[in-house]
């Protein structure tokens, strides 16, 4: 059965859907306000889904084998928007064809001001830090929300400062146009093929801001190098999966062997500027709502990070000190 994927994506955007999901033996589905809804269309065959995905991936056609079960490509569709196409095998099949795909709409809300996005007032202070480390965290299902927050931080600097901004992304989701700043976006597996080498090159490129989109894509050596860069005089930004600010600190702690932990805690205590953690829920009105937990590093918190005393940090946060936003406070 022939399906015009461009028409389908255009329909999804008009319905304010965040995703289009394609899978054999099912009609296409839309994700709207976090819930899946089937479209009144015929059931797709295995061949239908494969042909749609294979055609859409174009020059990035990559056969999925036992060694490579997943691929992602981002595309601009003129007049409709930008989409992330995720293609994968959903079961252990010796056939190398794509069997399922998800098209995620990459919205351009990041181009709005922090006020228009309803971000907490402390965002401006965080975005305008001149050096150190900013972590944007949340569950894996909030990947696009975390990406939008990072893009909004970069967009603010692009509109405000004359910076050299470099990014490494896999793949590039939001595309930035240089304004006051020079923005150079690199895509992993297209422009660069090794995270460690890209970070080594950063030391010679002298950027003011360096962003890697997903900290959890790095191995231990690369994670350590990224934290070292964050303490070298530039502003480093990344995202990682976690359930809270404290879980974020624990996550980083568990990334390194015991012999490195004292050194990493010292690095983090000096370079960390803020952790922006988000969560999401659906209201009674069926609207997606974001809740915030934000910790800005202070003279009071820094020694606690160095000592690994996360319980004391939790106590400080939930006394609602200045520049700290708790989940409860964000929902008031």
Under-50 pLDDT residues of the chain:
63-67, 92, 94, 96, 330-332
Q: Assign 3-class secondary structure to 230-297.
A: HCCCCEEEEEEECCCHHHHHHHHHHCCCHHHHHHHHHHHHHHEEEEEEEEEEECCCCCEEEEEEEEEC
Q: How many CB atoms are closer than 10 A to CB 120?
A: 16
Kindly report the CATH class assigned to 5-106.
alpha beta
CA distance 182 to 155: 11
User: What is the H or E stretch that residue 73 is in?
Assistant: strand 70-77
CA 172, chain centre distance (Å): 10
Helix axis angle, 258-271 relative to 245-254, nearest 10°? Answer: 140
Does domain 109-330 fall under CATH 3.40.50.300? My reply is yes
Task: Please count the residues of the chain.
Answer: 332
- In sequence order, which residues have a C-beta less than 8 Å from that of residue 12 and are 6 or more positions away? 19, 20, 30, 103, 105
How close are the terminal C-alpha atoms of the chain, in Å? 50
Scan for tokens 């965080």, then name that residue. 126
In this structure, are residues 19 and 105 in contact, taking their beta carbons and an 8 Å threshold? yes
The pLDDT assigned to 72 comes to: 86
The DSSP result for 75-141, as a single string, is: EEETTTEEEEEEEE-SS--S--S--EEEEEEE--GGGS-TTTTT--THHHHHHT--SEEEEEEE-GG
Residue 127 pLDDT: 97
245: closest CA among 130, 129, 325, 160? 325
Q: What is the dihedral of CA 241, 244, 245, 251, to 10 degrees?
A: -50
Please tell me the distance from the alpha carbon of residue 326 to that of residue 313, in angstroms, as a whole number.
12
> For residues 164 and 181, is the Cβ–Cβ distance under 8 A?
yes
Residue 164: closest CA among 141, 144, 183, 192: 183
138 pairs with which residues across the strands?
Answer: 241
Which residues of the chain does CATH 3.30.450.90 include? 5-106
Instruction: Provide the pLDDT for residue 281.
Output: 82
Residues facing 260 on adjacent strands: none
Using CA of residue 129, residue 130, residue 131, residue 135, what is the dihedral sign?
Answer: positive
The helix-helix angle for 46-57 and 5-14 (nearest 10°) equals 90
Q: Give pLDDT, residue 332.
A: 47
| 313 close to 305: Cβ distance less than 8 angstroms | yes
Q: Where along the chain do the CATH 3.40.50.300 domains lie? A: 109-330
The pLDDT of residue 70? 78
Contact 23, 86 (CB under 8 A): no
CB 34 within 8 A of CB 145: no
Q: What is the pLDDT of residue 146?
A: 97
């Amino acid at each position: 059965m022939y399906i015009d994927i461009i028409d389908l994506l255009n329909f999804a955007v008009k319905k304010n859907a965040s995703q289009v999901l394609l899978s054999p033996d099912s009609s296409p589905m839309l994700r709207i306000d976090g819930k899946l809804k089937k479209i009144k269309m015929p059931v797709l065959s295995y061949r239908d889904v494969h042909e749609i995905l294979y055609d859409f991936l174009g020059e990035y056609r990559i056969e999925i084998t036992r060694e490579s079960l997943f691929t992602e490509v981002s595309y601009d569709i003129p007049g409709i928007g930008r989409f992330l196409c995720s293609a994968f095998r959903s079961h252990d099949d010796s056939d190398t064809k794509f069997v399922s795909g998800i098209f995620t709409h990459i919205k351009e809300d990041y181009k709005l001001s922090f006020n228009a996005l309803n971000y907490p007032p402390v965002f401006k202070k965080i975005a305008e830090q001149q050096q150190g480390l900013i972590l944007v965290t949340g569950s894996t299902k909030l990947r696009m929300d975390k990406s939008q927050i990072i893009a909004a931080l970069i967009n603010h600097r692009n509109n405000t400062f004359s910076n050299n901004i470099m990014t490494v992304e896999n793949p590039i989701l939001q595309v930035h146009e240089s304004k006051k700043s020079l923005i150079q976006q690199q895509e992993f597996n297209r422009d660069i093929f090794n995270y460690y080498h890209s970070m080594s090159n950063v030391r010679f490129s002298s950027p003011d801001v360096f962003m890697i989109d997903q900290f959890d894509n790095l191995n231990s050596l690369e994670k350590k190098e990224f934290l070292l860069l964050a303490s070298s005089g530039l502003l480093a930004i990344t995202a990682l999966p976690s359930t809270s600010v404290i879980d974020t600190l624990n996550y980083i702690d568990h990334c390194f062997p015991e012999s490195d932990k004292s050194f990493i805690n010292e690095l983090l205590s000096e370079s960390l500027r803020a952790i922006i953690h988000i969560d999401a829920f659906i209201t009674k009105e069926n609207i997606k709502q974001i809740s915030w937990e934000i910790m800005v590093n202070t003279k009071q918190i820094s020694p606690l990070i160095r000592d690994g005393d996360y319980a004391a940090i939790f106590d400080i946060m939930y006394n609602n000190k200045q520049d700290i936003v708790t989940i409860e406070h964000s929902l008031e």
